Structure 1
Amino acid sequence: MEVGDYKRFLLLSMRNKFVVFIKKYFLYSLRSTIISLFLPVIIFFIAFTGWISYHLAVTQLEENAYKNVDDTVFQTKSYLENRLYDVFEQLVAFSNDPKTLDLIDSEFSEVDPNDYVQMNNSLKVIHLTYNTIIESILVDMHNGEFSLYRSDFRKNFNQFPYKKYTEEYRGSKQGFYWHNEHPDDIFASKSEVVSVFKLIGNEHTKANGILLFNLRKSFFENVLNKSLIGDHGYLTLVSRDGTFNSKTVSDEYRLSPKELSFLQSLQDEKGRYEFKNAFGKNMTIIYDTIGVNKWKVAAVFPTDEILKKVNYIKFVTVIIILILTTIAILIANFLAKYITNPVSTLVYQTKQINENNLNISFSHKGPREIGIMKTALDDLLVKIKTLLAQIRLEQDEKRQLEFSIMHAQINPHFLYNTLYSIKGLSDMGMNKEASSMITALSNFFRISISRGKEIISLEEEIAHIQNYLIIQEMRYGDDFSYEIMINPSLLNFKIVKLTLQPLIENAIYHGVKQKRGKGTIFIKGYEINGIVCLEVIDNGLGIDSDKLRIINEELHSKGSNSSTIGIGLRSVHERIKLHFGEDYGLSIESVAGVGTKTMVKIPKSRGD
């Protein structure tokens, strides 16, 4: 979302919410004022009118209270239904994939090894796309001979208990089932999960097995815990095989097995009913049904807790009636000005808010409620300004980073020196060397462009620096030599383009060229605990400890504009973090007079 769109969205939401609220408050206040003005004439009817208003208010409050809970249940149900349908749709699509159907209808000996790769890639995409919901995935067929899974934990079994599942789950024509909160019996995660799966196997298929998605308990907790329904109310997911409660409550507010069984047996998709539990508590349940698996989202709460404001309103109403009866004439005009004017002023000021006018100071002259609304408006405007400033800062950093990348990709000074060296070789009749240098230069820029791709393979990155080193070696003759030692098994993994070239450039210009005699540059690549480590090591002059400390501090200081480190190093470090996360990037080690080692850490990744 662009800054302007985000800004307009926040402003519109804030303004509409407060204008509606203030108008309602204004109408209520105006009604009270009019009644006060007519009190001298209708003093006899004020008590009667007050009691009618009280009963209407109580009725409306009860309706609103239940409506608010009902809205909460509906919104929670709708959100869960959308997300669970997305997951279920992925399971259905995967089960109907031609590769899956071929696997089901064929003998294991006929399975093409490429099917493993293709199906594993499909599972990887599903797991990454829905990682916030899906904790683990299992595909197990042909009695365990064909097995794929996506999980951070090992499987709990050598052979899937297919017979146990088929005995426990029956009745679905398509073979799809849902299992409410339960211990993970598939993987050694030692956590609670919710499962959706398809059992495979009938007289028409050659494979017995399961396609299973384990859903994260934390996903359901986050959704259900967002809604607060009193101190002892809670949301619960109810299915025929159990429940999933949003929070832990004391025994007197829990559903007993009898009450739970009744709720599970209800045929209506939505509704409300009240009952008295074994502890004598009057409880209310408002429920709605998720379409994708027919589970009920139910709000369970003590009835008196949701209606506790009714007695408060009754007390306040009686006091107000008595006060108005005795002093209405004296305060009528004062109330009209004291209530109406501040609200009108606040409404007018709120309407002045637009995307070009955020510097509004709301005045506060009136009741405490006006002060609360004024404070809320001020806080929201401050948050909007802060968010917009943060968005602008992030966009500025992004543009600066893009500029750094362009600067590193198109280096006129390097191109000029190389072309001048090629001219010198041609003038000396060294056409073969000039041709080699031109070839290296063209390959260098071909890989630099990479058809606009930001992520390339490590093999392409190594080819890129080899061309760069060929050019530099031909330019500087015997000033330095280099050696590349990269584990071949790492070449297919992905890396951010132009990661190593700036590091080698630093090693040449700030390392080996500054020392006497011939220098050496080593480029190493290896893997440690699933992390690809790339090192550029030189035996140049090195860096003293104070300067090295400053360089590392500035390298890891986001937004720093110091010139101590070059634009190339900062660009490499920031781009790695942008693409792979905060755990990856550059680190520099150096000993003065001995040399410098720059290390790059990136994850093992075969995706773009």
Structure 2
Amino acid sequence: MKNNFFTKNLIIFLIPLLIPTLVLGSLSIIITQRYIKDQITQNNINLLNQTKTNIDLIFNEIDTLNIQFDGTANMAYTLKRVLKKDTLYSSDIANVDTTCFFLNSFANSKPYIYSIHIYYENENGRFCTTNNGITNLNNFFDTSWYDNYLHHPSEEKLWIETRNVKQYDFEENETKLITVYKRMALNNGVIVLNIKADYIQNLLNKSVSDPKQKIFILDKNNSEIVSSQAPGNKIDFDIKELINLNTNTIYSPSENKFLCKSIIHSDRFSWNYISVIPEGILYYVSISLLKYTIVLLLFSFILGLISTFYLTKKNYKQISNIITIIDSAKNNQPLPVIDSNVKNEFSYIIENLVTTFIEQHYLKVQLSERKYKLENMELIALQSQINPHFLYNTLHTIYWEVIKATGSNSKPIKMIENLSNILDYSLTTPCNRVSIGEEIRYTKTYLDIQMIRYGDKFDVLWAYTENVEPINTIKLLIQPLVENCIYHGIKNKDGKGKIKIKLSQKDGFLILTIIDNGIGIDKENLDAIKNKLDFDGEHSNHIGLFNTSKRLKLTYGDNYGIHINSKLGLGTVIYIRIPISYS
């Protein structure tokens, strides 16, 4: 038993100690992880946008060249004329010196430009290029751009490709270029801008926020144009797969870790800019918090273990005394002597135990009395049903005797028939739930009697749709409220009265509104009625109103009673809102 007591105390003591630490640690990890991940992801997006802006500025140089050479300007006209001549003279070369100087100055002022070619279609294979001026395709080292231009679809005006060129045969490594082609709109020809891929790569290398981060630029076919990684640093995952993945992570087998991606798109060249960064960088702070949380949990557990052992040893004797007292009380044995001088939590427990035994005995007596009263009330209720049933049977007999005697369907017979139906509806399983349709038919039967009694004293307007009729509700919901309108509002009114009964559905609730233009209620009496409706009071003048309110609260809860508003001389509005249910 002592071991069980120790175990229970350990659980009770450690749970309040460990759970807050665990919850706070977990929340800190989750919130920090989410915040840092979102922050780094946003920073990566901003980084990619800045990189995209910088690279777009570089490749937009093609637009400046297009303005100069695709038009009717003197420079473009002179160059085109010279390229198409069969034989070139020194004067022709002199005429295009200005153009060559412009191209060379333009290229030399931009460290990322490798070369520029201006080609107007001609039978001589001539074009103008930086550093070499007017030259021929047959004796120039870089001609692959021309083949691409010839075989590229003519409807595409702007495109980009990566190429490798070698100016001299003795060069060991080829130079990687990113070539921009701009097909001229006003002239038959093309402007070729060759960008150094190494320059773009260095730009990407300087843009990364972490040495392990990689940035890729892919063309519209998801082929790599250039990336921030060094040429010898191979990747072991499929870039195209990375684009098509719905998730933002991909596994790298060589690094044995997951990588997070961020992607933005460039509409100008249909490029995708991709940033890839190891997940460990995102979760570094979260992992540190997890370690600290585990250490704190272990420390709390050890501290709780020591504290529980000390408290268990101290209190076990007192608990044993309490158990002895309880066993003695159960077995009707004399209680052991209790030291009244001891004032601690155990003395309060013993006092509460004695008080509890007394209260339980008192509650048992009260329960027996209430059970007796309930049985007596049920007997009275059963006896009280005898007279109404006798009245119904007698009324039914009178109805048939009148039919035999008169042989006609007169108003008295109609009234007797309606009254008989009302009694039948009221007495049949009074506690059962009914549909709104049954309530409407019952209320209309009641109103038929009142119409005969009062003549043209009032009109009744019904406003509802068929979809409310199947809704389930308590019996005698509408008729007592209509009766209240007639006897307290319309009866004493000068002139003809009106009663509007509206049923509708809204947000899962049935809304019942009954409006009359009777004499209304003054403010003092209205406040008294509202107060008694809120606190289930009685009122001799509005029995149907208060009875219906009580039944609504007993059926649906205290929040679903009757709401009433009235203005003396104008009329009264009764509003009921109950949950929709179906039988």
Q: TM-score, normalised by structure 2?
A: 0.42
Higher relative contact order (CA 8 A, sep 6+): 1
Q: TM-score, normalised by structure 1?
A: 0.41
